[in-house]
Amino acid sequence: MINFYSYTEGRFGQCEAPVPGCWVSVINPTPQEIKELIDVYGLDSGFVKSSLDEEESSRIEREDDQTLVIIDTPVSSMDEDKTRMFYTMPIGIIITKDFVFTISLQENQVIDEAMRGTIRNLRPDFKTRFVLQLLLRISALFLFHLKQIDKISSAAEQQLHDAMKNELLMQLLALEKSLVYFSTSLKANEATIEKIHRGRVIKLYDEDQDLLEDVLIEMKQAIEMSSIYSGILSSMMDGFSSVISNNQNIVMWRLTIITVILEIPNIIVGFYGMNTDTLPFKTSWIFPTMLIIGIVSIMTFFMMRSNKK
């Protein structure tokens, strides 16, 4: 799908056909649309293929009069078992003489917000500033998703005291995996932004310096938060395993108590079922019953008391 957006008459909006200085949004293009991007708009075929490669790492590259910026953006989804997963996907930004292209395999929050005009002062005719605004929003999304990870892990921590099932463990494992993805992508993004900061690949203007500094600050903050949350989550996983093991031991201890207590009536009834006359009150059922109740009560009292200690 290919859409065109421009800034005309003081407002940002969608246009029917491409005009100089517009933004061309490409999401999950068909083979025909890919051919159109290469043949009609003259995009480098390698740049287009790299933008559509979900395994492509963040980088910046220049070829003739075209500049490619690949940046990773955070994405979240829910699995079939209702486990929240966080991962990253690349977005290709290609800057040409007349247009700015964004190419991605699927819809994502950054492109969606840009198309809806919720990113303030978005002007594709100012190509460098347009790219920096997208990078700033991507950095902010990383921080937002990292806070979501922290909230989910904190909620899981509240349930650790009586944890017995695998759902929490699977959720924490998913979060730990997500933090690895985030950490790797953030470091690659930082390297790309540092190259932009040098001004050798993309022309920077004086009014863009503050915006670029904000992007770097947000990205470094996201890297630091990812590192902190990763350490916290790793410690929590160790504690979680210990709690589960301890809870299982408590359950086994209780089952052992129940087994021992249930064996007492069988032993006493077995004695009174023997063919012998030496047992007291053999002809009466009251004494064996009271004996069973008494012994069971005493053993239950002492076992539960020792459990509290």
Q: Give me the domains of the chain, ranges plus CATH numbers.
A: 2-247 (3.30.460.20), 248-308 (no CATH)
Top-confidence residue, 48 or 154: 48
Q: How far is CA 156 from CA 46, 84, 93, 231, in A?
A: 44, 12, 38, 16
Measured distance CA(294)–CA(92) in Å, rounded: 78
> Mean pLDDT of all residues in the chain?
81
What percentage of the chain reaches a pLDDT higher than 90? 5
CA quadruple 221, 223, 225, 228: dihedral sign? negative
pLDDT for the residue 114: 87
Query: What span, in angstroms and rounded, lies between the C-alpha atoms of 265 and 270?
Result: 8
Rounded Cα–Cα distance for residues 264 and 139 (Å): 67
Does pLDDT of 285 surpass 80?
no
Q: Is 73 exposed, middle or buried (0-12, 13-18, 19+ CB in 10 A)?
A: buried
What is the length of the chain?
309
CA separation, residue 62 to residues 42, 202, 204, 270 (Å): 15, 9, 15, 90
Question: For 169-222, what is each residue's pLDDT tens digit?
Answer: 777 778 888 888 888 888 988 888 888 888 777 777 777 788 888 888 888 888
Contact predicate 260/304, CB 8 Å: no
